């Protein structure tokens, strides 16, 4: 069908494809269409299937030509995409370049389409890249802090006997702002609000104002807020807040001993067993965090070393996927999320614009990793697939046979292959990096990203 084709590479991984279809093929397509409709058309004065071609053409000629044009363009594009390397991305719909495209049964048809294609790029150097890896010091106080977290989790919350509020107590309050005449502002009224004194998890930041107050007492708090207060509705304002404490609770902490360790898990017989497990887990978390940071340095330099132009349709698809994932995480539908943002004076477009730099960086990283996997012929062996299925079964607490059945489908097997090759390429890059000794940092700073 295609008499001539020309592929022109444009900026931003776009392609302009120009095709010429011979008039004989156009005429053949047109004749087949006329023949088909002659057998199907029902026109007064003619039996079904007996409508003469010239009658059909005189009545529907322009429509027949338009359908022939669509068929010829679609068939030509399909044939071209089967033969050229520069195929369109799945989400990049080819667009006709020609503003007006007409068909002449006696002439060849030439038309052009533009579309985005997979980025073609030269991979930069990815071995011997210099990165710094910090080391972490896990102190006795860090271990004690982890133990204290477990103690807090095992605490029993009970009503406080004297009902006097102290730091770390859990209080339930009713509150409302008062106007200048001392009347309640109904839109600020709230009942049954619960928070822990000292956390600051309340709009008005009244933790210190409640210390020393008693349950079932009603009182008024007067506060002035600075111009740079974190909540703009209160910044630079003075308020009167009517408060009633309806409940005061305190935590009864368990004693840290062998019994405490046994309550945490049947795996521990003594406090020493629990302490060792805490140390091991802290060490593992620190190693994973340091590895992640080193990899982030490495990927940043890989992106800098490799020039890749990401097509716009690929960026838009990535952002749309992020948007849908974000909506899922917030447990809102995309439409509900738009309304939520609108109430805050923002839009979906504002959010996507904020995300775009990270989306582009993430796409470049995935393209680079994919190319390295190809270059180094990194694959997932059958043994590795079996091992990964075992790991997935253990993590999901599933019988191994059930897990194997679940991962039999081509889609799930592909997921496993990607999971394994991604891990292997990360290990490959780190093994081939020039890792220099970095600074020594505290465990808590590492975990909180303060280093």
Domain boundary among 63, 90, 116: 116
Average pLDDT over residues 279-299: 94
Q: Same domain for 88 and 73?
A: yes
Tokens at residue 237, please? 């304002």
Judged against a pLDDT cut of 90, whether residue 129 lies above it is answered with yes
pLDDT of 450 strictly over 80: no
Using CA atoms of 311, 314, 319, 320 in order, give the dihedral in degrees to the nearest 10. 140
Q: What angle do CA 91, 97, 103 make, to 5 degrees?
A: 115
Quick one: 132 and 52 in the same domain?
A: no
- What whole-number distance in Å separates Cα of residue 276 and Cα of residue 258? 13
Give the confidence band of 451 by pLDDT, cuts at 50, 70, 90.
Answer: low
Examine the pLDDT at 176 and tell me if it is beyond 80: yes
Q: Is residue 277 part of a domain?
A: yes
In a domain, 50, yes or no: yes
Q: Give yes or no: residues 15 and 85 share one domain.
A: yes
Same domain, 403 and 426: yes
Q: Are residues 293 and 439 in the same domain?
A: yes
Question: Is 369 part of a structural domain of the chain?
Answer: no
Please check whether residues 404 and 282 belong to one and the same domain: yes
Domain boundary among 338, 361, 384: 361
Helix and strand counts by DSSP (H, E) for the chain:
13, 11
On whether residue 14 sits in a domain, the answer given is: yes
| Mean of the per-residue pLDDT values of the chain | 91
Q: pLDDT (tens digit, 9 = 90+) per residue, 71-110? A: 999 999 999 999 999 999 988 889 999 878 888 889 999 9
Specify whether the CB–CB gap between 9 and 86 falls below 8 A. yes
User: Whole-angstrom Cα distance, residue 270 to residue 276?
Assistant: 10
Number of domains in the chain: 4
**Stretch among 10-19, 33-42, 440-449 having the lowest mean pLDDT:** 33-42
Query: Is residue 161 domain-shared with residue 291, that is, in the same domain?
Result: no
- Within-domain flag for 394: yes
In this structure, the answer to whether residues 422 and 276 fall within a common structural domain is yes
Does residue 415 share a domain with residue 349?
Answer: no
Q: 158 pLDDT band (50/70/90 cuts)? A: very high
Residues 434 and 336 in one domain: no
Domain boundary among 252, 286, 317: 252
Q: Looking at the domain assignment, is residue 260 inside a domain? A: no
The dihedrals phi and psi of 54, each to the nearest 5 degrees, come to -65, -30
Is the pLDDT reported for residue 274 higher than 70? yes
Rounded to two decimals, the pTM is 0.72
Q: What is the pLDDT of residue 112?
A: 95
pLDDT tens for 396-446 read: 888 999 988 988 888 999 999 999 999 999 999 999 999 999 999 999 889
Residues of the chain with pLDDT > 90, as a percent, come to 74
Q: Are residues 223 and 324 in the same domain?
A: no
Burial string for 119-136 (b: 16+ CB within 10 Å, else e) reads bebebeebeebebebbeb
Tell me whether residue 338 is in a domain: yes
Does residue 366 fall inside a structural domain? no
Residues 6 or more apart in contact with residue 112 via CB below 8 angstroms: 16, 17, 18, 19, 96, 97, 98
Domain extent at residue 356: 308-361
Judgement on whether residues 302 and 324 belong to the same structural domain of the protein: no
What is the domain-level CATH number for residue 226? 3.10.50.40
Question: CATH number of the domain that 93 lies in?
Answer: 3.30.70.1050
């Amino acid at each position: 069908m295609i008499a001539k084709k020309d592929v022109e590479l444009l900026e931003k991984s776009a392609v302009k494809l120009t095709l010429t279809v011979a008039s004989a093929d156009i005429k053949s397509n047109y004749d087949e269409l006329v023949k088909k409709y002659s057998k199907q058309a029902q026109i007064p004065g003619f039996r079904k299937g007996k409508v003469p071609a010239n009658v059909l053409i005189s009545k529907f000629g322009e429509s027949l030509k338009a359908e022939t044009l669509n068929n010829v363009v679609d068939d030509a594009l399909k044939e071209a995409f089967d033969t050229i390397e520069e195929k369109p991305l799945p989400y990049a719909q080819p667009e006709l370049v020609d503003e007006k495209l007409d068909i002449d049964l006696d002439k060849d048809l030439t038309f052009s389409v533009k579309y985005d294609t997979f980025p073609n790029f030269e991979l930069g150097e990815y071995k011997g890249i210099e990165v710094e890896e910090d080391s972490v010091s896990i102190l006795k106080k860090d271990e004690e802090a982890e133990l204290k977290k477990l103690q807090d989790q095992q605490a029993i919350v009970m009503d406080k006997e004297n009902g006097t509020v102290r730091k770390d107590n859990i209080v339930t309050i009713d509150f409302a702002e008062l106007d200048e005449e001392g009347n309640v502002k109904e839109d600020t009224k709230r009942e049954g609000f619960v928070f822990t004194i000292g956390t600051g998890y309340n709009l008005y930041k009244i933790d210190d104002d409640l210390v020393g107050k008693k349950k079932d007492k009603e009182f008024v708090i007067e506060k002035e807020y600075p111009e740079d207060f974190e909540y703009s509705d209160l910044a630079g304002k003075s308020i009167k807040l009517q408060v009633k404490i309806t409940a005061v609770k305190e935590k009864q902490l368990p004693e840290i001993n062998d019994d405490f360790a046994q309550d945490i898990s049947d795996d521990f017989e003594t406090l020493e067993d629990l302490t060792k497990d805490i140390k091991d887990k802290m060490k593992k978390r620190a190693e994973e965090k340091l590895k992640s940071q080193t990899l982030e340095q490495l990927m940043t330099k890989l992106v800098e070393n490799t020039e890749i132009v990401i097509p716009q349709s690929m960026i838009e698809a990535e952002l749309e996927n992020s948007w849908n994932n974000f909506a899922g995480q917030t447990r809102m539908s995309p439409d509900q999320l738009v309304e939520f943002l609108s109430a805050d004076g923002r839009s979906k477009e504002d959010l996507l614009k904020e995300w775009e730099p990270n989306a582009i960086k993430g796409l470049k990283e995935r393209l680079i990793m994919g190319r390295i996997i190809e270059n180094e012929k990194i694959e997932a062996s059958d043994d590795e697939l079996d091992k990964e299925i075992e790991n997935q079964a253990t993590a999901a607490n599933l019988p191994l046979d059930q897990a194997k059945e679940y991962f039999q489908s081509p889609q799930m097997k592909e997921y496993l292959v990607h999971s394994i090759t991604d891990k292997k390429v990360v290990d490959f890059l780190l093994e081939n990096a020039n890792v220099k000794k970095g600074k020594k940092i505290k465990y808590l700073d590492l975990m909180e990203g303060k280093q």
